[in-house]
Amino acid sequence: MTASKVHEDVATGPGGRIVAIRGAVIDIAFVDADLPEINEAIVIEDPAGGAVIAEVQSHLDERSVRALALQATTGLRRGDAVRKTGGPIKVPVGDAVLGRLLDVTGAIGDKGAPLPETVPLRPIHRTAPPLAQQRGTSDLFATGIKVLDLLTPLAQGGKAAMFGGAGVGKTVLVMELIHAMVAGYQGISVFAGVGERSREGHEMLLDMTNSKVLDRTVLVYGQMNEPPGARWRVPMTALTIAEYFRDDCHRNVLLLMDNIFRFVQAGAEVSGLLGRLPSRVGYQPTLASEVAALQERIASVSGAAVTAIEAVYVPADDFTDPAVTTIASHVDSMVVLSRAMAAEGMYPAVDPVTSSSVLLDPLIVGQEHVDVADEVRRTIEHYRELQDVISLLGLEELGAEDRRIVQRARRLQRFLAQPFFVTEGFTGVPGRTVPVADTIKGCRMILAGDCDDWQESSLYMIGTIEEARDKEEAARKASGQPAVQTPAKEEMKGKAA
């Protein structure tokens, strides 16, 4: 289905003519017709035989508008005909788009068969569900990733964001979450690639196909080489498809967005193209309202939930950046990725101190879970406070209690590292999935001192604490050292009691 086909069934009225083109910004005069409304889609007839979709952004006067092209404007010229569509951009939704790759206008991008003529269409601009219809949720979204399940539990029907600078593992973490949810999650997945590289989009399509989950997934891409308008509106297209499955089909939806910062970045480009004065740090003055218009639509209503997981690029590792703080104000779980931990090889490089979740509450996860998580945070934070002293004077200058805390914090950091399934081809280490109860048990044993005489390497890149014990026993046997003096496996299983 082509972009023009999406609008073919919309009644058209008298048209206009292009009077000026400046890149993606087009000024259009409607001499004998009423002006189209803000956010209304218009179709520019390319003399070469194609059509360019644009969106009205402002009214210049009584007879002219300024529009933003969502596709390349190469070949357009002054005087080209423009026709109104009578409403916002409409994109195909429903079961017909499952397993397909779409662009911002709903056009097919996977070189597959065209969509059927009967496919339903929905406008990409909608209001958020009324507050009275929205419902909260306390159901946990178990991921099998130790550090997430322990310190930043995710909620079904909630919003989680992965914050991190360039090269610290945001996309890999999102990919692992997709893999983790294949087995236990039977709903619909919608992936929005905002400003993605062409290579990343191709890899995602191949991974989805090989893992046999593409038939339950919709891929929506606005790639890095596309105009800013396409990158700016592609999250709206993905969200519209997710809302259809939620509201009309009453099915749970997993919405993944990578990278939501590029949505803000595209909005800043659009704002500059339209001649608006910039606000803080050069961002658009409408930053807060644009982010809110997107995030508030990600909601759960009775009968179905939309669970959102968003990757957020942090420019120059500055977590006080206005875009980052604005996005953070809308999410339930904040997963902060640390460059220092990535440099030490602690993957996933989730910072246990600054990451947080509103679900880490005794009424939701239980008192034991909260107590262990708090103690893990305190231990690692105390270790960080001592790092300068250790660097200057050495570990031997610390008191006995501080040395014990440092040793346990280092073991906790290594235990919370975990091999991923999506990186098996690069590392050669099989991925691990760890239940929440096993994560809590392992952390409690380390905090209690049961692993004080173990090598730190025995706890690195493993799954459960039992696997670490087996690794330690093998290392001791190979070096001729005494066996591990810790509770037997049967006793370890009963530790939770």
**In sequence order, what DSSP letters do the residues of 155-186 get, joined into one string?**
BTT-EEEEEE-TTSSHHHHHHHHHHHHHHH--
Q: Which residue of the set 197, 280, 384, 489 is catalytic? A: 197
Q: Which residue of the set 176, 196, 226, 243 is catalytic? A: 196
Q: Which of 418, 381, 336, 356 shows the shortest CA–CA distance to 168?
A: 336
Question: Measured between alpha carbons, how far is 308 from 331 in angstroms, rounded to an integer?
Answer: 9
User: Residue 496: its pLDDT value, please?
Assistant: 47
Tell me how many degrees the CA angle 489-492-497 measures, rounded to the nearest 5: 145
User: Residue 1: its pLDDT value, please?
Assistant: 46
User: Residue 486: its pLDDT value, please?
Assistant: 53
Contact 196, 166 (CB under 8 A): no
Q: Which of 97, 128, 98 shows the shortest CA–CA distance to 115?
A: 97
* Dihedral of the alpha carbons of 486, 487, 492, 494, in degrees to the nearest 10: -150
- Phi, psi (rounded to 5 degrees) for 361: -135, 140
Is 243 an annotated catalytic residue?
A: no
Question: Measured between alpha carbons, how far is 299 from 330 in angstroms, rounded to an integer?
Answer: 11
Q: Which two tokens stand for residue 58?
A: 């402002």
User: Residue 134: its pLDDT value, please?
Assistant: 85
Secondary structure class of 442 (helix, strand, coil): helix
Q: Which two tokens stand for residue 130?
A: 């009324």
Which of the 8 DSSP states describes residue 284? -
Q: Which residues of 32-45 are buried (b: 16+ CB within 10 A; e: fewer)?
A: eeebbeebbbbbbb
Is 84 an annotated catalytic residue?
A: no
Q: Which residue of the set 66, 83, 170, 262 is catalytic? A: 170
Question: Measured between alpha carbons, how far is 402 from 425 in angstroms, rounded to an integer?
Answer: 40
User: Residue 404: its pLDDT value, please?
Assistant: 94
Q: Which of 89, 86, 88 shows the shortest CA–CA distance to 34?
A: 86
Where are the extended beta strands (E) located within 350-486? Answer: 356-357
Tell me which H or E stretch contains 441. Answer: helix 436-448
Question: Measured between alpha carbons, how far is 189 from 207 in angstroms, rounded to an integer?
Answer: 14
Is 170 an annotated catalytic residue?
A: yes
Counts of helices then strands in the chain (DSSP H, E)? 16, 16
Contact 101, 108 (CB under 8 A): yes
Taking only Cα atoms into account, the Rg of the chain, rounded to an integer number of angstroms, comes to 26
Question: Measured between alpha carbons, how far is 363 from 353 in angstroms, rounded to an integer?
Answer: 22
- Name the strands in the sheet holding 306-313, side by side, starting at the edge strand that comes first in the sequence: 101-102, 217-222, 188-194, 253-258, 306-313, 159-164, 333-336, 356-357
User: Residue 397: its pLDDT value, please?
Assistant: 85
Where are the extended beta strands (E) located within 318-453? Answer: 333-336, 356-357
Letter for the amino acid at 94?
Answer: G
Instruction: Return the bridge partners of 59, or none.
Output: 65
Q: Which two tokens stand for residue 308?
A: 């959102």
Query: Could you tell me the end-to-end alpha-carbon distance of the chain, in angstroms, rounded to an integer?
Result: 59
What does pLDDT average to in each consecutive run of 10 residues of the chain (497 residues)? Answer: 42 73 94 89 84 94 94 90 93 93 91 91 93 81 92 90 90 82 73 86 77 82 92 95 92 90 95 92 94 93 87 93 95 93 92 93 94 96 92 87 94 95 86 94 95 93 94 88 63 49
Q: Which of 80, 72, 56 shows the shortest CA–CA distance to 23?
A: 72
Contact 385, 393 (CB under 8 A): no
Q: Which two tokens stand for residue 196?
A: 């993605």
Q: Which two tokens stand for residue 409?
A: 């914090």
Question: Measured between alpha carbons, how far is 243 from 253 in angstroms, rounded to an integer?
Answer: 8
Question: Measured between alpha carbons, how far is 235 from 174 in angstroms, rounded to an integer?
Answer: 16
Where are the extended beta strands (E) located within 288-410? Answer: 306-313, 333-336, 356-357
